[in-house]
C-alpha cells in the first residue's frame, strides 16, 4: 500500500481525476484532470509543478565523500564544483548499469545523490575504506519540479535566489517564503526548469507559495503522464523502462553498459580505479553491442497503414512503455523500442529504442511494428539524434 | 515578438512574385522556393499574415487580431514545410462553453462522459446521441478530405486529366455507404438548424452547434446551404483527431510567422510595406508588378494572394477581362457579416453561470443561447443593422500562452456576427458606428460576465469596413467570399477558373477565394504552387 508524499495533502485535493499510481511506494498523480493535455502544454508554454518526492535521496557526507562517490560512480566527482550537479550512472563490477541519477555538491563534504531505485545498501557496502556517512534522506526531503518557460519568472517571484546567474545544472541555497530550500536547475522535461528541495516539515508552505506565485503565469499542477511525454521528447531514458538495473536482471542479456544506454558521455574512464572500470575499458575497446537511439516514425507510411483500413491514424494518448520489436530493412529483428510518445509539439511520432550498434547511425531507416486493426504491420522509422526537442531556453 | 522584414527587394527580377503575404501567399511562396524558384513576397502591411496575424496593438498585449482559432490547416503542409521546427504550435481547445441568460450553462468537454452528463441536464436523448452525431460527421468529413486536398475537378470536362482529378477528389465519397451519401446530399442542401433538428431536440445544444454553419456567411442558421458550412468546420483535424480546434501559440500570427520562417529558409524574400498597385500585363501575359511608389518588379510568374475581386478588378483590371467573366466576378458574393472585438483585461472573466477560474475558460465560449436568438441576430443584419445581441465566439488565448499579456493579465478575442458590411447608412459610415458596435458586444458579454466592463484596459473593434480597408478583405468577408455551394469547388472563384489560373497568362491565384476556400488551411497556397510547378497536389 503506497503512502503519501509530503505534498499529498495538496496534490490529492487538486487531483480531481483520482488518477494516481504507485511510484516507488508513494501515491503520485498521473494527471490532475482526465487528460494530461493541459498539463503537457503548460510544461511547454507556461509552467508546471510536479511532485517528484519519490526520488531516492542520499546525503553523502564526510571528508572522503568526493573520493567515495568517484569510486562508486562512473564520473570523477572530485572535479564536481560546489554548487554544481552532475547527471551520471553507476555500475556493478562488470560495468553493467545499476541506476542512473544525479549527484549534487552542496558543500566540500556534503553531496546528495538522487536515484531511481533504493541504493542505500549498495552505497553503504562500498564505504569500508572511506571516511563518509550516508543518510537515506528520501523520506525527509520533499522535491518539487517546477518546469517550463515561465518557471524562472515564478521562482524569482517567490524566492531570493539569484536565478539569473544559476546555470544549467547549478544549484543554490535560498529562502522561499522564509523556508530554507535548495534550488537546482535540473529536471526531467528537457526544458527550462528547476527542482526545489525542502524539508518535509515545510513542504506545504513551499508548495503553496509556488502555486500562489505561479498563478499569474498559468502554472499548472502536473502529473507523471505529461512529464513522461516531455521526457521522451527530451530523449531521457528511464531505469526499469528503457533499460534494467543489473541488480534485477536474472539473465545477462538484459543488462546494459553505460555505452549501450547512451550514457557513455558520463563515464570518466582514465582515472583512479572505480567500480566497473576494467570492464568499461574493455567495452570501449571492443565496442558496445547495443545502442540506445531515438526513432521517428515515417508519418506518411504510418497514416497510409491506417487509411488502408478506413481509419484515421491512431496515435497513442500518452507516452507508452510496452516494448515493440524493431527490424532492419530485411525484416530481421535488430532491437526493440522501449518507450515512445506522439509529440504534439514536434508533430512526430517518437520512440526510444535499443538496437544493435550496427544500426545506430542517425539516418538509418529501420522498421517498427505497428498494430493496425489487430494486425501487426511495419512502418519505417528513422534513427534520430536525441534530444528530439531541445529549446535554447533549457540552457539559456 | 512580431517578426520584422525588409522594405525593399534585393533584386528587380524574380522567377515568382507573390502579391500579399497572407498565410496562403506565404505557403505558396515556400513551396515554390523549396522547388528552387527565386520568390519575392510583397506585403502591403508592416507585418505578414494577412488575416492570420498577431500584433501588439496595446503595449504588452498581443492580439490575435482577426482569425483566432485553427483546425483546417493541412497536416501535410506542416510536414512539407517543417513548420513545427519553425515554431508552429497548435494547442487544442479543451471545451466549448455556452453560458445561458438564465444563469445556467452547457459545457462540452473532451471527456465524453462529462459531456454526456452536461447535455443530459437538458435532454437525456441528446446526451447519448451526440456521440453518434460526432461519428457521423467525422466520417463525412473524412470523405470530404479527398475533395479539399485535391484541385477541384471540372464536371463539364471530359479531358482525361480532369477525369483523373475527379477520380482522386471523389475517392472519399466512393468509400461512403448509401446512408452516408444520403446524409451528404442533405448536408449540401439543408440549413444547419434543420440538419441538427434531425438529431437533437435541445435548443441549448443545437444553438451553439449550429453557429458553425453561419460563420463568415451572410445567412442565418435556418437558411438552406448552411449545413455544408457546418461540415466545413468539422473537417479540421489536430494530430488525427477530427473536429479538433486549437489555438496557435502566439495567436494565429504564429502560424504565418512559422510559414514565413520556412519560406525564408528556402530563400524566399519577404518585403513588407510594399503596396502593389497592379500587375503589369503585356499581350495578355503577366510580366511583373507595379508598386504604388512607382517601382516595378519583373517576374516570370505573378501570384495573387488577394481575394477574387481585388485580383480581377484591381490587380488585373477590367480592360484585360471578358465581359462575361467580369460579370461572374461581379456577382461573386462577399457580403461580410462579422466583426472582431479584442480586449485587454486585468482579470479573468467571471461568468455568472460558472464563477471562478476553471477549465471551462480554456476552450471557446459561445454566446448562442438559442436558435431563435441567432435568427433574431440575423434578422437585424438583413435590414442593415448590426445585431444588438450578436452571436459571439470568445477565446482567452493567454490561458494557454501567457506570453501574450503581462503576468496575470489577459487578452480576449471575440468573433462577432452579425455585423453586415452594407449597413443601411452605407458601408463607409461604419467608422461612426464602430464604438456602438463594440459597446453592443461588451454589453452582451456583460450579461453573462458582470465583472467584464471593469476589467477592460483596452478595446480594439474591427468592423467589416475595417477588415476591408485595413486587411484588404473585400466587403469584410473573412473567407475571400462566402462558402456557399454556388461558389465552391469548380465554381470558386468563377466557372472555368477554379484551378488557380486566371485568363492572364502567368498570373495565378493562391488564396481563400480559390478551392477549397477559407479558413487557415494553407491548401489553396499549396495547390496553387503545385499547379504552377505542373504537379498534381498529393
Give the domain ranges of chain B.
13-54+70-91+249-333+481-532, 131-240, 335-474
The stretch B54-59 carries a mean pLDDT of 96
Location of C-alpha cell 543488462? A255
Q: Is the pLDDT of residue B6 over 70?
A: yes
A35 touches chain B (CB under 8 A): yes
B60 touches chain A (CB under 8 A): no
The whole-angstrom distance between residue B24's C-alpha and the CA centroid of its chain comes to 11
For residue A153, which residues of chain B lie inside 8 Å, CB to CB? 407
**C-beta atoms surrounding B6 within 10 Å:** 12
**Of the candidates A219, A58, A210, the residue with the CA atom closest to the CA atom of residue A144:** A210
Report in angstroms the alpha-carbon separations of A80 from B103, B269, B359: 62, 49, 45
| Interacting residues of A54 by C-beta distance below 8 A, sequence separation 6+ | A5, A23, A24, A25, A26, A28, A138
Inspect the interface and report whether the beta carbons of A45 and B78 lie closer than 8 Å.
Answer: no
A312 touches chain B (CB under 8 A): yes
B224 touches chain A (CB under 8 A): no
Inspect the interface and report whether the beta carbons of B237 and A312 lie closer than 8 Å.
Answer: yes
pLDDT at B241: 67
Report in angstroms the alpha-carbon separations of A217 from A39, A42, A160, B357, B478: 13, 10, 18, 13, 33
Residue A180: all three cell numbers together: 530554507
Q: Give me the residue from B85, B89, B240 closest to A313, CB to CB.
A: B240
The stretch B273-277 carries a mean pLDDT of 97
Residues facing residue A179 across a β-bridge: A176
The stretch B254-274 carries a mean pLDDT of 98
Q: Give me the residue from A41, A153, A312 closest to B400, CB to CB.
A: A41
Inspect the interface and report whether the beta carbons of A344 and B114 lie closer than 8 Å.
Answer: no
Inspect the interface and report whether the beta carbons of B400 and A217 lie closer than 8 Å.
Answer: no
- Identify whether A291 is preceded by a cis peptide bond (ω within 30 of 0): no
A39 touches chain B (CB under 8 A): no
pLDDT per position as a tens digit, B517-532: 889 999 999 999 999 9
**C-beta atoms surrounding B451 within 10 Å:** 15
Q: Is residue B299 classed as helix, strand or coil in its secondary structure?
A: strand
Rounded to 5 degrees, φ, ψ at A373 are: 50, 55
Distance CA B361, CA B353 (A): 12
Second-level CATH architecture of B335-474: Alpha-Beta Complex (3.90)
B132 touches chain A (CB under 8 A): no
Q: Give me the residue from A34, A314, A345 closest to B111, CB to CB.
A: A34
Distance CA A145, CA A20 (A): 18
For residue B94, which residues of chain A lie inside 8 Å, CB to CB? 37-38
Ranges of residues in chain A whose predicted pLDDT is under 70: none
> pLDDT tier at B243 (50, 70, 90 boundaries)?
low
Q: Is the pLDDT of residue B128 over 90?
A: yes
pLDDT per position as a tens digit, B500-511: 999 999 999 999
Report in angstroms the alpha-carbon separations of B291 from A336, B300, B312: 60, 17, 17
Residue B101: all three cell numbers together: 441568460
DSSP secondary structure, B89-102, as one string:
-EEE--EEEEE-TT
Domain boundaries, chain A: 8-53+138-222, 57-137+257-286, 290-386
Sequence length of chain A is 396
Inspect the interface and report whether the beta carbons of B249 and A38 lie closer than 8 Å.
Answer: no
Residue A313 Cα, gap to closest chain B Cα (Å): 6
Domain A8-53+138-222 listed as CATH 2.60.40.10: no
- Per CATH, the number for B13-54+70-91+249-333+481-532 is 3.50.50.60
Q: Give me the residue from B242, B249, B359 closest to A45, CB to CB.
A: B249
Q: Give me the residue from A34, A218, A312 closest to B402, CB to CB.
A: A218
> pLDDT tier at B187 (50, 70, 90 boundaries)?
confident
Q: Do domains B13-54+70-91+249-333+481-532 and B335-474 have the same CATH topology?
A: no
Q: Is residue A137 classed as helix, strand or coil in its secondary structure?
A: coil
Q: Could you tell me what percentage of chain A is helix, strand and coil, using 3-state DSSP and rounding each to the nearest 5?
A: 25, 35, 40
Q: In a 10 Å sphere around its CB, with 0-12 CB exposed, 13-18 middle and 19+ buried, how is residue B200 labelled?
A: buried
Q: Give me the residue from A150, A215, A347 closest to B79, CB to CB.
A: A347
A310 touches chain B (CB under 8 A): yes
Interface test with B, best of A312, A315, A341, A393 (most B CBs within 10 A): A312
Pairing mode of beta strands B296-304, B285-291: antiparallel
Report in angstroms the alpha-carbon separations of A186 from A54, A213, B465: 16, 20, 52
pLDDT per position as a tens digit, B401-455: 999 999 999 999 999 999 999 999 999 999 999 999 999 999 999 999 999 999 9
| Interacting residues of A174 by C-beta distance below 8 A, sequence separation 6+ | A159, A160, A161, A180, A181, A182, A183
Inspect the interface and report whether the beta carbons of B359 and A33 lie closer than 8 Å.
Answer: yes
Distance CA A278, CA A275 (A): 8
Distance CA A256, CA A290 (A): 8
Distance CA B119, CA B22 (A): 39
For residue B128, the surrounding DSSP H or E stretch is helix B124-148
Q: Is the pLDDT of residue B537 over 50?
A: no
**Of the candidates A8, A51, A3, A6, the residue with the CA atom closest to the CA atom of residue A26:** A3
pLDDT per position as a tens digit, B145-177: 888 888 888 887 878 888 888 888 888 778 888
Residue A150 Cα, gap to closest chain B Cα (Å): 9
A348 touches chain B (CB under 8 A): yes
pLDDT per position as a tens digit, B465-500: 999 999 999 999 999 999 888 898 899 999 989 999
pLDDT at B143: 80
B112 touches chain A (CB under 8 A): no
Inspect the interface and report whether the beta carbons of B239 and A216 lie closer than 8 Å.
Answer: no
Q: Give me the residue from A45, A299, A315 closest to B79, CB to CB.
A: A299
**Of the candidates B485, B499, B494, the residue with the CA atom closest to the CA atom of residue B532:** B499
Domain A57-137+257-286, CATH homologous superfamily name and number? Aminomethyltransferase beta-barrel domains (3.30.70.1400)
Distance CA A95, CA A276 (A): 4
| Interacting residues of A211 by C-beta distance below 8 A, sequence separation 6+ | A10, A49, A219, A221
Interface test with A, best of B93, B399, B407 (most A CBs within 10 A): B407
Q: Give me the residue from B175, B241, B407 closest to A310, CB to CB.
A: B175
A305 touches chain B (CB under 8 A): no
If you measure CA to CA, which chain A residue comes closest to B363? A38
Q: Is residue B503 classed as helix, strand or coil in its secondary structure?
A: coil
Location of C-alpha cell 490532475? A32
Distance CA B368, CA B361 (A): 16
Could you give the ipTM of this predicted complex? 0.93
Beta-carbon contacts below 8 Å between A and B? 70
Inspect the interface and report whether the beta carbons of A312 and B242 lie closer than 8 Å.
Answer: yes
pLDDT at B536: 47
A342 touches chain B (CB under 8 A): yes
pLDDT at B240: 67
Strands (E) across A159-233 are located at 171-176, 179-184, 193-199, 219-221
Q: Could you tell me what percentage of chain B is helix, strand and coil, using 3-state DSSP and rounding each to the nearest 5?
A: 40, 20, 40
Inspect the interface and report whether the beta carbons of A35 and B400 lie closer than 8 Å.
Answer: no
Residue B136 Cα, gap to closest chain A Cα (Å): 13
For residue A315, which residues of chain B lie inside 8 Å, CB to CB? 239-240
Report in angstroms the alpha-carbon separations of A61 from A69, A112, A143: 10, 9, 20
| Contact present, B206 and B371 (Cβ < 8 Å) | yes
Report in angstroms the alpha-carbon separations of B351 from B328, B360, B389: 47, 10, 17
Q: Is the pLDDT of residue B238 over 80?
A: no
| Contact present, A183 and A106 (Cβ < 8 Å) | no
Distance CA A202, CA A207 (A): 9
pLDDT at B155: 80
**C-beta atoms surrounding B281 within 10 Å:** 20
For residue B250, which residues of chain A lie inside 8 Å, CB to CB? none
A217 touches chain B (CB under 8 A): yes
Inspect the interface and report whether the beta carbons of A45 and B89 lie closer than 8 Å.
Answer: yes
Q: What is the DSSP letter of A387?
A: P
Location of C-alpha cell 531570493? A160
B402 touches chain A (CB under 8 A): yes
Distance CA A305, CA A295 (A): 18
Residues facing residue A353 across a β-bridge: A293, A337
Inspect the interface and report whether the beta carbons of B84 and A313 lie closer than 8 Å.
Answer: no
Fold (CATH) for A290-386: Elongation Factor Tu (Ef-tu); domain 3 (2.40.30)
> pLDDT tier at B131 (50, 70, 90 boundaries)?
confident
Report in angstroms the alpha-carbon separations of B42 from A156, B14, B211: 43, 12, 35
Inspect the interface and report whether the beta carbons of B75 and A346 lie closer than 8 Å.
Answer: no
Distance CA A47, CA A200 (A): 23
Distance CA B442, CA B461 (A): 11
- Geometric angle at alpha carbon B356, from B355 and B360, rounded to 5°: 85
Q: Give me the residue from A34, A216, A314 closest to B240, CB to CB.
A: A314
Distance CA A347, CA B239 (A): 8
Residue A216 Cα, gap to closest chain B Cα (Å): 4
Contacts with A, B 345-374, CB within 8 Å: 359, 362
Inspect the interface and report whether the beta carbons of A218 and B242 lie closer than 8 Å.
Answer: no
Amino acid at each position: 500500500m503506497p503512502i503519501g508524499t509530503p505534498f499529498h495533502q495538496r496534490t490529492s485535493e487538486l487531483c480531481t481525476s483520482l488518477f494516481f499510481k504507485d511510484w516507488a511506494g508513494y501515491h503520485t498523480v498521473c494527471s490532475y484532470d482526465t487528460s494530461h493535455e493541459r498539463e503537457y502544454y503548460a510544461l511547454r508554454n507556461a509552467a508546471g509543478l510536479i511532485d517528484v518526492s519519490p526520488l531516492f535521496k542520499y546525503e553523502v557526507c564526510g571528508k572522503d565523500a568526493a573520493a567515495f562517490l568517484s569510486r562508486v560512480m562512473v564520473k570523477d566527482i572530485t572535479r564536481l564544483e560546489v554548487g554544481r550537479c552532475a547527471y551520471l550512472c553507476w555500475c556493478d563490477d562488470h560495468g553493467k548499469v545499476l541506476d542512473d541519477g544525479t549527484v549534487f555538491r552542496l558543500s566540500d563534504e556534503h553531496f546528495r545523490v538522487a536515484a531511481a531505485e533504493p541504493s542505500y545498501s549498495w552505497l553503504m557496502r562500498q564505504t569500508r575504506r572511506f571516511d563518509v556517512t550516508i543518510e537515506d534522506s528520501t523520506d525527509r526531503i520533499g522535491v518539487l519540479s517546477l518546469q517550463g518557460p515561465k518557471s524562472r519568472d515564478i521562482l524569482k517571484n517567490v524566492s531570493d535566489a539569484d536565478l539569473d546567474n544559476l546555470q544549467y545544472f547549478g544549484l543554490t541555497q535560498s529562502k522561499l517564503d522564509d523556508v530554507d530550500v535548495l534550488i537546482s536547475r535540473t529536471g526531467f522535461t528537457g526544458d527550462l526548469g528547476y527542482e526545489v528541495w525542502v524539508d518535509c516539515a515545510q513542504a506545504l508552505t513551499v508548495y503553496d507559495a509556488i502555486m500562489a506565485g505561479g498563478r499569474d503565469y498559468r502554472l499548472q499542477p502536473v502529473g507523471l503522464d505529461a512529464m513522461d511525454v516531455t521526457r521522451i521528447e527530451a530523449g531521457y531514458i528511464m531505469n526499469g523502462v528503457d533499460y534494467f538495473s543489473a541488480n534485477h536482471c536474472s539473465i545477462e542479456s538484459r543488462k546494459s553498459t553505460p555505452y549501450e544506454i547512451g550514457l557513455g558521455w558520463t563515464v570518466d574512464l582514465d582515472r583512479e580505479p572505480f567500480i566497473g572500470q576494467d570492464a568499461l575499458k574493455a567495452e570501449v575497446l571492443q565496442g558496445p553491442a547495443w545502442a540506445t537511439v531515438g526513432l521517428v516514425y515515417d508519418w506518411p507510411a504510418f497514416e497510409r497503414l491506417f487509411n488502408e483500413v478506413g481509419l484515421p491514424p491512431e496515435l497513442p494518448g500518452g507516452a507508452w512503455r510496452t516494448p515493440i520489436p524493431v527490424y532492419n530493412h530485411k525484416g530481421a529483428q535488430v532491437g526493440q523500442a522501449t518507450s515512445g510518445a506522439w509529440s504534439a509539439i514536434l508533430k512526430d511520432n517518437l520512440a526510444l529504442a535499443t538496437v544493435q550498434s550496427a544500426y545506430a547511425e542517425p539516418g538509418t531507416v529501420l522498421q517498427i511494428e505497428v498494430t493496425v486493426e489487430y494486425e501487426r504491420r511495419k512502418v519505417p522509422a528513422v534513427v534520430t539524434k536525441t534530444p528530439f526537442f531541445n529549446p535554447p531556453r533549457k540552457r539559456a | 515578438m512580431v517578426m520584422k522584414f525588409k522594405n525593399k527587394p534585393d533584386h528587380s527580377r524574380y522567377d515568382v512574385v507573390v502579391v500579399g503575404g497572407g498565410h496562403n501567399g506565404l505557403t505558396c511562396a515556400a513551396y515554390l522556393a523549396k522547388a528552387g524558384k527565386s520568390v519575392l513576397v510583397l506585403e502591403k502591411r508592416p507585418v505578414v499574415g494577412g488575416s492570420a496575424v498577431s500584433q501588439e496593438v496595446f503595449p504588452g498585449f498581443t492580439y490575435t487580431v482577426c482569425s483566432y482559432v485553427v483546425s483546417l490547416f493541412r497536416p501535410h503542409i506542416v510536414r512539407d514545410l517543417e513548420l513545427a521546427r519553425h515554431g508552429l504550435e497548435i494547442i487544442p481547445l479543451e471545451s466549448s462553453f455556452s453560458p445561458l441568460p438564465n444563469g445556467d450553462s452547457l459545457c462540452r468537454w473532451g471527456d465524453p462522459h462529462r459531456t454526456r452528463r452536461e447535455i443530459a441536464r437538458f435532454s437525456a436523448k441528446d446526451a447519448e446521441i451526440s456521440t453518434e452525431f460526432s461519428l457521423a460527421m467525422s466520417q463525412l468529413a473524412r470523405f470530404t478530405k479527398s475533395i479539399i486536398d485535391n484541385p477541384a475537378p471540372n464536371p463539364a470536362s471530359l479531358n482525361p486529366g480532369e477525369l483523373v482529378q475527379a477520380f482522386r477528389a471523389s475517392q472519399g465519397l466512393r468509400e461512403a455507404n448509401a446512408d452516408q451519401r444520403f446524409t451528404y446530399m442533405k448536408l449540401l442542401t439543408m440549413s444547419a438548424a434543420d440538419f441538427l433538428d434531425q438529431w437533437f431536440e435541445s435548443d441549448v445544444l443545437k444553438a451553439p452547434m449550429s453557429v458553425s454553419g453561419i460563420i463568415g456567411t451572410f445567412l442565418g442558421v435556418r437558411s438552406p446551404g448552411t449545413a455544408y458550412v457546418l461540415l466545413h468546420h468539422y473537417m479540421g483535424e489536430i494530430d488525427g483527431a477530427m473536429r479538433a480546434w486549437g489555438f496557435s501559440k502566439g495567436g494565429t500570427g504564429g502560424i504565418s510567422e512559422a510559414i514565413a520562417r520556412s519560406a525564408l529558409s528556402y530563400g524566399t524574400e519577404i518585403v513588407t510595406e510594399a503596396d502593389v498597385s497592379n500587375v503589369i500585363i503585356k499581350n495578355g501575359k503577366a510580366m511583373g508588378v507595379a508598386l504604388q511608389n512607382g517601382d516595378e518588379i519583373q517576374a516570370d510568374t505573378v501570384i495573387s494572394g488577394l481575394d477574387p475581386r481585388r485580383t480581377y478588378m484591381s490587380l488585373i483590371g477590367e480592360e484585360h477581362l471578358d465581359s462575361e467573366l467580369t460579370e461572374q466576378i461581379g456577382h461573386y458574393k462577399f457580403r461580410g457579416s462579422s466583426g472582431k472585438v479584442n480586449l485587454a483585461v486585468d482579470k479573468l472573466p467571471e461568468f455568472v453561470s460558472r464563477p471562478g477560474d476553471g477549465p471551462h475558460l480554456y476552450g471557446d465560449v459561445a454566446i448562442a443561447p438559442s436558435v431563435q436568438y441567432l435568427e433574431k441576430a440575423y434578422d437585424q443584419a438583413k435590414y442593415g443593422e448590426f445585431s444588438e445581441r450578436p452571436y459571439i465566439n470568445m477565446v482567452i488565448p493567454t490561458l494557454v500562452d501567457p506570453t501574450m499579456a503581462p503576468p496575470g493579465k489577459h487578452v480576449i478575442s471575440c468573433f462577432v456576427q452579425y455585423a453586415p458590411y452594407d449597413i443601411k447608412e452605407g458601408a463607409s459610415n461604419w467608422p461612426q458606428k464602430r464604438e456602438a458596435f463594440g459597446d453592443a458586444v461588451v454589453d452582451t458579454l456583460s450579461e453573462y460576465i458582470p465583472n467584464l466592463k471593469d476589467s477592460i484596459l483596452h478595446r480594439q473593434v474591427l468592423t467589416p469596413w475595417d477588415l476591408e480597408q485595413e486587411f484588404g478583405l473585400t466587403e469584410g468577408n473573412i473567407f475571400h467570399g462566402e462558402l456557399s455551394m454556388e461558389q465552391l469547388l469548380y465554381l470558386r472563384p468563377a466557372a472555368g477558373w477554379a484551378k488557380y489560373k486566371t485568363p492572364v497568362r502567368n498570373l495565378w491565384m493562391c488564396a481563400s477565394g480559390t478551392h477549397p476556400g477559407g479558413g487557415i488551411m494553407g491548401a489553396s497556397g499549396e495547390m496553387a504552387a503545385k499547379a504552377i510547378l505542373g504537379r498534381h497536389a498529393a
